[in-house]
């Protein structure tokens, strides 16, 4: 606490600005990017489609 009390007004402003920047970077990291979310959704859907088509072909082979 002694160090914080000894800061000048401009130094205090710099520290507060630094804290604000770090907080905004943290928020950016926790919020998913909409483009990333879309890509992930499309990838998961394509895996699901591939799995379903693979399962259907397996059933056809097993029936013959």
Q: Tell me, yes or no, whether 22 and 42 share the same domain.
A: no
11 vs 20, 22, 64, CA distance in Å?
14, 17, 80
Does 27 lie in the same domain as 3? yes
The predicted model gives 48-61 an average pLDDT of 58
Question: 8 and 20: one domain?
Answer: yes
- Determine contact, residues 38/46, Cβ cutoff 8 Å: no
Q: Is the alpha carbon torsion for 15, 19, 35, 39 positive or negative?
A: positive
Judgement on whether residues 41 and 23 belong to the same structural domain of the protein: no
Q: How many domains does the chain have?
A: 2
Say if residue 36 is in the same domain as residue 26. no
Based on the fold, state whether residues 38 and 25 are members of the same structural domain.
Answer: no
**Mean pLDDT along residues 6-28:** 85
Report CA torsion sign: 42, 43, 45, 46. Answer: positive
pTM over 0.75: no
Across 32-58, average pLDDT: 74
Domain region containing 53? 32-64
36 lies in the same domain as 50? yes
On average, the pLDDT of the chain sits at 75
């Amino acid at each position: 606490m002694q160090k914080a009390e000894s800061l000048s007004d401009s130094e205090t402003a710099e520290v507060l600005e630094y804290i604000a920047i770090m907080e905004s970077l943290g928020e950016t990291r926790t919020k998913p990017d909409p483009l990333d979310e879309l890509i992930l959704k499309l990838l998961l859907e394509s895996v699901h489609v591939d799995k379903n088509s693979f399962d259907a072909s397996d059933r056809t082979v097993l029936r013959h």
